[in-house]
Structure 1
Amino acid sequence: MRHHLFAGCVLALLAAPVAPTAAQTSTKQEAIHHQQASAAKLQLRWELERNLFSPQAPHGRSLAHLILTNHDSQPLPAQGWSLYFNCMDRLEPGPLPSKLVLEHIAGSLFRLHPGPGFEGVAPGQTLDIAYTYPGLVIKLSKAPVGPYLVYDAVPDVGVVIKDFALQPVTRPEQLDRGTSGAKPVVTPADTYRRNASADLLPPNEVPAVLPTPLRIEQQEGSLPIKAQPTITASAALKNEAALARSLFPQTLPPNGPKLQLSIGAVEGQTSPEAYRLTVRADSGIAIVGNSAAGVAHGLQTLRELLPLPGADELALKETTIVDAPRFGYRGLQLDVARNFHGKQTVFKWLDLMARYKLNKFHFHLTDDEGWRLEIAGLPELTSIGAVRGHAAGPGVRLQPAYGSGPDPENAAGSGYFTRADYIAILRYAQARHIEVIPEIEMPGHARAAVQAMEARYRRLKAAGRKDADKYLLNDLEDRSRYRSAQYFTDNVINPGLDSTFTFIDRVVGQVVAMHRDAGVPIKTIHMGGDELANGAWEQSPASLARMKKEKLEDTADLWDYFYERVDGILRRHGLATSGWEELAARKTKLAGRNRLIPNPRFTTRGFTAWVWNNTRGAEDFANRLANGGYDIVLAPVSSMYLDMAANPNPEEPGVNWNDYVELDTVYDFVPFDMLKHLPEAGRVGKDGLTDYGRRHVRGLEATLFTETVLDASRVDYMLMPRLLAVAERAWAPDPVWATEPDAARAAALRRTAWSGFVNALGQRVLPRLDLERGDVAYRIAPPGLMLDGDRVLVNHVLPGIQLRYTSDGSEPTVTSKLVTGPITEPGSIRVAAFDRKGRRGLVAGIDRAKTGKE
């Protein structure tokens, strides 16, 4: 459905503006003032009423309410206004019982407006706006966000409804999961049982280094450090020498033990990132790397070996470590398109990546909801494609998304990296031995670019420019009917237009130029490729003409044509082609059902495919691609998508379109056995990874898409500490439990390894992060609680973390009683973990007055 109110809908040729008269300006200002005053007096609450199951909807629907209360002295009128909001789920549009009409604008944007017979909302009156989701609402992320009011009299002004809140989801009818068997919430007892899979270790048994080195030997001797180490390093290791100096307290006097950094052969290790670290009481510290990157990794290991800041004595055990990574690709993808995250956030995560030996930064710069990189000669990409907010007419900015609201200055919705910003990021990453892989999404997920380039076309055409369509990305006569995974119907770049490839060449050329000017090599650009909606291009005259000219049978062939052209552009710029798994896939049918197969057309092109889809039925697709000769990066949604919520509790942040990803979900991932989690019957007909296929697995990547991530603290919460498990899996070899065929022995080995990992996090790695940085607001999980007779048993996923409790139902604070064993006090017990800075984690509660219940 298309609407005239938003730039996110149809771009139309705008008439030349006429300067308003003074009277008109005064009238408009009065209308704006009235609108602001009216919105300020509106209260809005969202409530999930219940989940509904029927033969027609066996998997369930949800009935919800927006409860609007007018606290103004004036009525909300019967006509002439609209209430906009974003919602990440489909809603059932149409007339509602409240006599309002619910419309889907595009993507996640919806509009409520008065319908026939609506009588307005009188002062003091409350309006119950009931509506329906066609599926179940499990997470609060499915609730509306960013509501704002627009009056028809001032259609270009949207005013945020600030008094807006979500009601908790706790009642049985809200948590009903029908006959699915799904557990609606994770209880404190569930958490206790899950946490019980690890043991608390004494400090001397906690692993000394994470990620786990190939070989580590520690002796009884020690090297005291009572003065700043004396660093020797070549000019080629200037950055590493600076890192080395930063590891030690600056208050120490000079002339301490030797710390020698050098590049040389690490015996038995061919990886350029290999290193050898030795600590000797008589000769000091020496780090040799196969390259500067290896030396940098050795220094991060040295950091891990140091006592925590504030320790009584600064000394290092005598140690020998020989280490090298399992995979050459150890990545993190950060999405800055859905919600913008600026340069300082990127710098922070590049620092943290280097600390934990991750070396590939996948920079998701463009998507439907934002284009975040300045491209010389195409200013609309950022003046329109990087700005979200309300607009009365088209071609002004993108529509609000993910709660960014009507204000184009909203920091989550609007923003981009200037050319200088991007160059600074490249240099910052290079100094930390991290490769930046920019991603330019296409042909789907491209709405921001499509909108921006159509606005450019309209502007230049109105000015009489004959080359107005030089960079146009959409066929204006396209009548294809499709709906993307994010509910867009106009987000696709058209391969029938020559201007599409002119645009791609321009963007690629400018990205390459920025890397050249930064002095930072570029090997590839990630060219997207995921989630092209079925039906795209099918009724586009330009695409049909292209198919006829090139003798292509269907749109699957047109897809191949598109990426052959894209690959040609990249090759001309000296780059290899990479993208999501669909780039290496071919759509076909088996027994009438859609199926993806490795695309035989590109196996010799050197494409690299990031494989995300291991959902039900596609668990082995990564194996099939690698076995078929494609280089792949494993980024499976089931264990590496860190935008997934940790559990189904409604208030737990994140999405759940696939499943839930806890810390142990990531830890238990076995890269060369993608089917390990399946029961034996589930493996039937699935392809395992061949020896040949193993050679094509380049590594692992954690991904953070940011639909629910509006600020830097939420980035921290979603990534950490789960990213540490990604780092462990990407760097260290398979743990012995992963390949042990005996189930009982494998379980015992896994318990030992898992205990070491979580004790290292709880007792050493995260405390060091607290004390050295203090700016990483990682998720502190709730404790597990279990009633055991007349006492409450308490544990935590991170053994050794500080736990405090109250027994009067109040929230624990840093001065509350420490948990030192089972809690025997009666009352309403509330427990939380605290980091070394006193920051409280999620609270768990159990009521001793209701014996046996939680």
Structure 2
Amino acid sequence: MRFHCKNSAFIALLSLLTFLPLEVTGQSADFHVIPLPKTITPTSGGNFRIDEKTLISYSKEDKTTRQNAEYLAQYIEKLTGLKLTVTNLPVQKHCIRLTTAYHHSHPEAYRIRSNSEIIWLDGASPAGLFYAVQTFRKALPIGITQSMTIPSVEIKDYPRFSYRGAHLDVARHFISTDSIYRFIDMLALHHINRFHWHLTDDQGWRIEIKKYPRLTSIGSKRPQTVIGGNTDRYDGIPHEGFYTQKEIKAIIKYAADRFITIIPEIDLPGHMQAALAAYPDLGCTGGPYEVWQRWGVSDHVLCAGKEETFEFIGNVLDEIVKIFPSEYIHIGGDECPKTQWKQCSKCQQRIRQEHLEADGKHSAEERLQSYVIRRAEKHLNSLGRKIIGWDETLEGGLAPNATVMSWRGEAGGIEAAQQKHPVIMTPNTYLYFDYYQGDDPQHQVDGVGGYLPIERVYSYEPMPRNLSPEEQKYIIGVQANCWTEYMKNFRRVEYMELPRMAALSEIQWCAPEQKDYTAFMKRLPHLLDHYRLEDYQYAKVIHNVKLQLTTDTIQRAVMAQLSTFDQAEIHYTTDGSEPTLASPRYTEPLALTQACQLRAAAFRQGEKSNEVSKKIRFNRSTACPIRLLTAPHGSYAFTGAQLLTDGLVGEDTNFHSGSWMGFVGNNLEAVIDLGKAVSISSLKLNTCVEKGAWIFDARAIEIWGSTDGTNFQPLGKKDIPAMKESDPNAIYSHALTFTPETVRYAKVIVKSEPSIPEWHGGKGRPGFVFVDEIEIN
């Protein structure tokens, strides 16, 4: 195994001395690893003992089998300190024998068999054998030892999906070659076989193109970077970097040796401002342009009306194809603003010449984007390659042989599969690893927002139920994406990837009936030991207490359930004080019936985890039965109606967190049963505003009352003006007081923005409204 880091031999030795126990004895391998093999069958052949006399044997005619044997020897030495000899002699006893003689219809299948005399690792191909080695590696006990036991067992395994991908963006923040090698090793550990390498964007061009040297001499450098989420502050620190073609070819070989195919992405026709900074004549206005210092989507895109644009695309793709042997080349196709195309005489002339007028379903400019993608695809097809594009490539009509990567939920993937196009599922709601792993940003590195805990990642099922079995065959794989706007170095990438990559690997590899989150979490600690051994900086949020709050509408209580993935000891307080070992120990769900601040932490061998803390508020509607009369947007329903009366108030504008419920195209209407006739005189609620995501303030709030739940009378109403461009993104509180009225049922209406104002890019379309906590007193 080749380890790409400075003083790698010293670091590997140091990790052994500092992490591993000095000596362990009597330990046995456990093949319940991640991802979980298809079948693990105990047999009666007796246990095998691995010690320093054990040989690793392979067939001398097979170089790839020898390579797998050498990997295994290196893994075993790093895990246990045992140095096993690798030989091509046909040893039959006291050896680990590697072959590619396993007969199976799936080329990545493998089988592991062991008895007291021999261990067989058989692959249906060299790749299958590599996965057998990875499973064997992860099954071994970790610690310096003189010997260890392998139980008598037969394992048969093969993957669910042939495309098992992980994406890494190196355009926003450049990542060194040493770290790219490290990323590839992470993928190999998790049985991932596709590395989607996002090499170009508005903020930087990261690959040498010899015909266009200014792409790297200019396009790979930006003088500074915006601080945070597009504030008005900049760090003043130059950022630059790119890979030479020689470096990339070495990385491709390193990945191929680990049966990982690298798929490069050259994002076009949008996300091209770095290229335009180098070659401004390729833009609609001619510039000048600069490598973008902000995040988001630039309006500066390639000019689709200039023939030299297509010459540029073709020349770049020619060099890409010569470097990368992959069947697929990713050409982006996402988030391409059309504002400049609408104003560009050359683009409008191209629309007329190619008869790309609006057709009722797509605008002329959307069809122009499709025209660009089709020309790029035709060029790649002529070179014997195929394209992958983000799901925006559906807009204007899909290129004939395109594969679609569905990131804006599953809708694009479903549409493409129904059109009989291959699909890779990578929905942002489950598989965007730049989202926060925990719901407490205070104890995490910076992120783009969102909330994507490992449990939600694991819950993802890539086969949409509304596709027929024949259409489901077009779902060829699953991928997680890592965008690096807020990841200034690779240690941040490790933190955001791990341990969610473990959950991803089981989505990609395991059959649905194999998946069990509780069992997965019991298997995870041993994989975490591997992370520590490799010095991967995984997110420690999984060590924190998991707080699950539900409402008991009979007791009118907020029920708090506390847990950890490893059943650690939990202590808590409800008075806002810091939890210590002297605080009450959690043993059963807590019924909270009055306002409090709940704080809890896990304790392991006296070491305290980060705290979880929630402020619970009570009013007349808290924990009361609530019924929605209108449906929220499918992606923003979260736990359902009870979210609006659960005693928790949304604390920030992270609308992915599950603290807010989102509506678009209709209003929020809900009826709350207060349990008995009571006097009420006020309504309070909050809205979350993120204008860039088309989330606006409410336009009105209303409350109606009833004694029977059928006949309602208006109690109060408040109109809210349309938002101005200068209004900040924030949490907006709205209060309404009215003449006291005795009612049992309260109907609350929150009206959404029916038409986004003219100053906004989404003008004329309905805006979202996100609401949380309905408080009635």
TM-score in same-fold range (> 0.5): yes
What is the match of residue 311 of structure 2?
A: 502
The answer as to 2:549 corresponding to 1:783 is no
The answer as to 2:657 corresponding to 1:831 is no
The answer as to 2:71 corresponding to 1:243 is yes
- Deviation string 1:321-362 (CA, Å, 9 cap, x unpaired) is 111100000000001111222212211121111111000000
What is the match of residue 533 of structure 1?
A: 337
Contact 2:299-2:338 within 8 A present in 1 as well: no
Contact 1:670-1:734 within 8 A present in 2 as well: yes
What is the match of residue 641 of structure 1?
A: 432
Task: Please state whether the residue corresponding to 1:704 is helix, strand or coil.
Answer: coil
What is the match of residue 105 of structure 2?
A: 270
Instruction: Map 1:349-388 to 2 at 5 A.
Output: 349-388=183-222
2:566 to 781, 799, 803: 799
Instruction: Map 1:241-640 to 2 at 5 A.
Output: 241-249=69-77, 251-252=81-82, 257-266=94-103, 269-282=104-117, 284-310=118-144, 314-390=148-224, 405=234, 407=236, 409=238, 413-454=239-280, 472-476=281-285, 489-515=298-324, 521-553=325-357, 554-583=364-393, 585-587=394-396, 599=397, 602=399, 605-614=400-409, 619-640=410-431
Task: Please state whether the residue corresponding to 2:249 is helix, strand or coil.
Answer: helix
Unmatched tracts of structure 2, length 5 or more: 1-26, 86-92, 358-363, 550-558, 589-596, 616-646, 649-777
The answer as to 2:47 corresponding to 1:222 is yes
Contact 2:37-2:155 within 8 A present in 1 as well: yes
- Deviation string 1:109-128 (CA, Å, 9 cap, x unpaired) is xxxxxxxxxxxxxxxxxxxx
- Cα distance change, pair 647–785 in 1 and its aligned pair in 2 (3 A): closer
- Cα distance change, pair 341–228 in 1 and its aligned pair in 2 (3 A): farther
Contact 1:783-1:833 within 8 A present in 2 as well: no
What is the match of residue 52 of structure 1?
A: none
Contact 1:478-1:537 within 8 A present in 2 as well: no
Deviation at 1:388, TM superposition (A): 1.4
Contact 2:478-2:508 within 8 A present in 1 as well: yes
What is the match of residue 842 of structure 1?
A: 610
What is the match of residue 719 of structure 1?
A: 497
Contact 1:478-1:539 within 8 A present in 2 as well: no
Distance in 1, matches of 2:41 and 2:583, equals 36
- Deviation string 1:431-466 (CA, Å, 9 cap, x unpaired) is 110000000011111111112212xxxxxxxxxxxx
Distance in 1, matches of 2:153 and 2:188, equals 22
Distance in 2, matches of 1:348 and 1:504, equals 31
Distance in 2, matches of 1:644 and 1:437, equals 23
- Cα distance change, pair 370–802 in 1 and its aligned pair in 2 (3 A): farther
- Cα distance change, pair 487–429 in 1 and its aligned pair in 2 (3 A): closer
Deviation at 1:632, TM superposition (A): 0.5
Task: Please state whether the residue corresponding to 1:705 is helix, strand or coil.
Answer: coil
Letter of the 1:538 partner, please give it: K
- Cα distance change, pair 650–260 in 1 and its aligned pair in 2 (3 A): closer
What is the match of residue 161 of structure 1?
A: none
Q: Identity, % of aligned pairs?
A: 27
Distance in 2, matches of 1:550 and 1:786, equals 57
Distance in 1, matches of 2:270 and 2:106, equals 37
Contact 1:783-1:794 within 8 A present in 2 as well: no
- Cα distance change, pair 834–638 in 1 and its aligned pair in 2 (3 A): farther
Distance in 2, matches of 1:818 and 1:245, equals 49
Contact 2:31-2:135 within 8 A present in 1 as well: no
Task: Please state whether the residue corresponding to 2:565 is helix, strand or coil.
Answer: coil
- Deviation string 1:2-58 (CA, Å, 9 cap, x unpaired) is xxxxxxxxxxxxxxxxxxxxxxxxxxxxxxxxxxxxxxxxxxxxxxxxxxxxxxxxx
- Cα distance change, pair 330–260 in 1 and its aligned pair in 2 (3 A): same
Distance in 2, matches of 1:240 and 1:207, equals 19
Task: Please state whether the residue corresponding to 1:552 is helix, strand or coil.
Answer: coil
Deviation at 1:834, TM superposition (A): 6.9
Unmatched tracts of structure 1, length 5 or more: 1-202, 391-397, 455-471, 516-520, 588-598, 675-687, 737-749, 848-852
- Deviation string 1:588-630 (CA, Å, 9 cap, x unpaired) is xxxxxxxxxxx3x53xx3211100111xxxx533222112111
Deviation at 1:512, TM superposition (A): 2.1
The alignment's TM-score, normalised by the length of structure 2, stands at: 0.64
Distance in 2, matches of 1:381 and 1:802, equals 56
- Cα distance change, pair 783–318 in 1 and its aligned pair in 2 (3 A): same
Distance in 1, matches of 2:560 and 2:217, equals 57
- Deviation string 1:378-400 (CA, Å, 9 cap, x unpaired) is 2221122111115xxxxxxx988
Distance in 2, matches of 1:540 and 1:558, equals 12
Contact 1:207-1:756 within 8 A present in 2 as well: no
Letter of the 1:439 partner, please give it: E
- Cα distance change, pair 662–312 in 1 and its aligned pair in 2 (3 A): farther
Distance in 2, matches of 1:569 and 1:839, equals 59
Letter of the 1:434 partner, please give it: I
Letter of the 2:249 partner, please give it: I
Contact 2:194-2:263 within 8 A present in 1 as well: yes
Aligned residues: 551
Deviation at 1:761, TM superposition (A): 0.5
- Cα distance change, pair 259–606 in 1 and its aligned pair in 2 (3 A): same
Contact 2:77-2:84 within 8 A present in 1 as well: no
Deviation at 1:769, TM superposition (A): 2.4
Deviation at 1:208, TM superposition (A): 1.3
The alignment's TM-score, normalised by the length of structure 1, stands at: 0.58
Instruction: Map 1:96-245 to 2 at 5 A.
Output: 208-219=32-43, 221-233=46-58, 234-245=62-73
- Cα distance change, pair 640–505 in 1 and its aligned pair in 2 (3 A): same
- Deviation string 1:736-783 (CA, Å, 9 cap, x unpaired) is 6xxxxxxxxxxxxx8xx2211001113x2212322x312333333322
Contact 2:284-2:301 within 8 A present in 1 as well: no
Contact 1:829-1:846 within 8 A present in 2 as well: yes
- Cα distance change, pair 574–402 in 1 and its aligned pair in 2 (3 A): farther
Contact 1:806-1:831 within 8 A present in 2 as well: no
Distance in 2, matches of 1:453 and 1:819, equals 66
What is the match of residue 461 of structure 2?
A: 670
Distance in 2, matches of 1:569 and 1:535, equals 27
Distance in 1, matches of 2:56 and 2:219, equals 49
What is the match of residue 506 of structure 2?
A: 728
Distance in 2, matches of 1:647 and 1:539, equals 44
Deviation at 1:786, TM superposition (A): 9.5
Distance in 1, matches of 2:147 and 2:571, equals 28
- Deviation string 1:147-203 (CA, Å, 9 cap, x unpaired) is xxxxxxxxxxxxxxxxxxxxxxxxxxxxxxxxxxxxxxxxxxxxxxxxxxxxxxxx9
Distance in 1, matches of 2:71 and 2:30, equals 25
Distance in 2, matches of 1:717 and 1:636, equals 20
Distance in 2, matches of 1:586 and 1:703, equals 22
Letter of the 1:769 partner, please give it: Y
Distance in 2, matches of 1:805 and 1:842, equals 12
Deviation at 1:560, TM superposition (A): 2.5
